[in-house]
Amino acid sequence: MLDQAVFYFFAALAIVSAILVVTRRNAVQSAIFLVTALLATAGIFLNLNAEFVFIVQVILYAGGIMVLFVFVIMLVNLDVALHQVQFNRQWFVALIISAVLAAQVAAAIAVSRHSLYIMPAAPPETLEPNTERVAFYLFHTYMLPFELASILLLVAMVGAVVMAKKRV
């Protein structure tokens, strides 16, 4: 009961703010709504007993990546940019893509509704609290991807510094 209320609240919040992200003229306001969408998603994660993903989402996504976004928006924000046309005339393409996507998913759900539709109430002990299990998987089974991810981050960091530097 409470679970469902929380989910639908966060889901609605996420969708509404996601729509606002792509429709606001001002990039800073878009960023604010993106943060809201991400936090709403984080709430959904928490509702799914994924505490660690929740906190990673909050710290990294909302607290880290989005701060970077806001920072860059402020650096490049031009008053002129606000008065320019903000949208391409490609609504048609977007609509088609969305429609095709929606149809696909609807079909998928319709076909497999019996196997997928009802989520089994997961036994509480399997997933709660699972921070330790996440750590176990991360550092045992998925050790190599983890290290690769850190290398990816390093490369990205170097790349970002090189590109954003003033005089190369």
Of 51-110, binders to another protein (CB under 8 A) are 51-78, 81, 84-88, 90-91, 93-94, 97-98, 101-102, 105, 109
Q: Which of 9, 27, 43, 143 binds another protein (CB under 8 A)?
A: 27
Site for another protein in 139-168 (CB under 8 A): 141-142, 145-146, 149, 152-153, 155-157, 159-164, 166-167
Q: Which of 9, 32, 83, 107 binds another protein (CB under 8 A)?
A: 32
| Cβ proximity of 62 and 35 under 8 Å | yes
Site for another protein in 111-130 (CB under 8 A): 113, 116-123, 126-127, 129-130
Establish how many alpha carbons lie within 13 A of residue 6's alpha carbon, considering only the half-sphere containing its beta carbon.
Answer: 12
C-alpha to C-alpha distances, 87 to 22, 28, 97, nearest whole angstrom? 10, 16, 17
Peptide bond between residue 124 and the one before it cis (omega within 30 degrees of 0):
no
Alpha-carbon gap, residue 33 to 46, rounded angstroms: 20
Q: Does 45 bind another protein (CB under 8 A)?
A: yes
Shortest Å, Cβ 2 to another protein: 9
Shortest Å, Cβ 43 to another protein: 11
Alpha-carbon gap, residue 77 to 79, rounded angstroms: 7
Shortest Å, Cβ 159 to another protein: 5
